Amino acid sequence: MTDTRDLALKAKAWPFEEARKLIARTKGKAPDKGYVLFETGYGPSGLPHIGTFGEVARTTMVRHAFAAMSDIPTRLFAFSDDMDGFRKVPDNLPNQEMLAEHLGKPLTRVPDPFGTHESFGHHNNARLRAFLDGFGFEYEFKSSTECYASGEFDAALLKILALHDEVKNAVLPTLGEERRATYSPFLPVCPKTGHVLQVTIDEARPDSGTVI
């Protein structure tokens, strides 16, 4: 055992304490996929800020502590929830009136108010990556839009569809009264308005992979 490994295993700082929990959870062995995945989330409805930095920094600290204590490979995904509905126009953006016309749409279908990218979501994703790169973070960027479009989520979505009612009933007690009234694990995009809908799903059809 190296001196560095020995020091890491004895360290009491919080990143090492969190890493120790992960090592216990994995029983000291790599998962079947061959690595332990760390992940951060970013909602690109606004520009990256100090909170964004903090989330990635804290996760990176735990990841580094884990690497110092274990030989299990790791990966870090910086995941952008860019299919989220655009709920409010931030005060620090240009073209406020134009943006207000697109409330409710997925962020990657809202025009870029700065005019530099194909959408507001794409603009903020680019800002996020430049922000993280500027601080030297090691990560892999993931976009919700790209994951849905590529089919990367299909297998998981079909599993949720097959267990739609069970998942719904497990989540409902954790929600407020207003959200409970329309909650479903699926948030469809309306083909007419382009809005992300928080609507009741009347019927889940696993055989055809659809919801009504």
For tokens 């690595």, the residue is 35
* CB-CB contact of 108 with 146 (8 Å): no
Count: domains in the chain: 2
Mean pLDDT to the nearest integer, 31-49: 96
Same domain for 89 and 54, yes or no, is yes
**Same domain, yes or no: 135 and 166:** no
Identify the residue whose tokens are 């059809």. Answer: 205
Q: What is the pTM of this model?
A: 0.91
Same domain, 120 and 204: no
> How many angstroms separate the Cα of 33 from the Cα of each of 30, 160, 207?
8, 21, 28
Q: Band the pLDDT of 202: cuts 50, 70, 90.
A: confident
pLDDT for 199 equals: 82
**pLDDT tens per residue, range 48-89:** 999 999 999 999 999 999 999 999 999 999 999 999 999 999
Measured distance CA(114)–CA(119) in Å, rounded: 9
Question: Rounded distance, CA 204 to CA 209, Å?
Answer: 8
Which residue range(s) make up the domain with 159? Answer: 154-212
Q: What percent of the chain has pLDDT over 70?
A: 100
What confidence score (pLDDT) does residue 66 get?
A: 98
So what's the pLDDT on residue 157? 96
Does residue 58 sit in the same domain as residue 31?
A: yes
